[in-house]
Amino acid sequence: MNTRRFFLATALFALLGPGLAACATANGQTAPAADTAVQSAQSADTTKAALGVRKPKHVSVAIMTARDMLSGEAVQPADQVAIVTCGPAIRALAQDSDRASEVRQALDRGIAIKACGVTVERMGFDADTFIDGVEVVPNGFVELIRLQKQGYLSIEL
């Protein structure tokens, strides 16, 4: 594990506190949290999912997955799905992007699409350039953690 990854993991565990027992593996995958909110979400008949996306080409895959989950066509159906974009993936959320139509359809289907505010600022984007309905959150990683604490199952592409 490199120093940066170790620092990020330490910072996340410090933020989450002892109530959230998520663990990261060496290859960056995360195991489901064992806190009460996640356990109750998993035991209920409904599922909420959060998909973290960093590459523009993965936005289409995340939208397809979210659509399949909401329609019940996926192995794991869901009642709510959020896509949280960070890094270059936010480019796909611009009104003039080649994925704009796809993003609008996803929003119309009730898929929450969020852009990382840190990335927006660092890449010099203006939030007004995003498709109507895209929510800019202060920090994409913190948003994923917040959703996990609300019982969302999550995966990062």
**Tokens coding 116:** 């990382």
First to last CA, the chain: 19
Cite the beta strand spans of the chain per DSSP E.
Answer: 48-53, 80-85, 112-116, 135-137, 152-156
Query: Which CATH superfamily includes the segment(s) 45-156?
Result: DsrEFH-like (3.40.1260.10)
Boundaries of every domain in the chain? 45-156
Top mean pLDDT of 16-20, 28-32, 107-111 is at 107-111
| pLDDT per residue as tens digits for the range 66-117 | 999 999 988 889 999 999 999 999 999 999 999 999 999 999 999 999 999 9
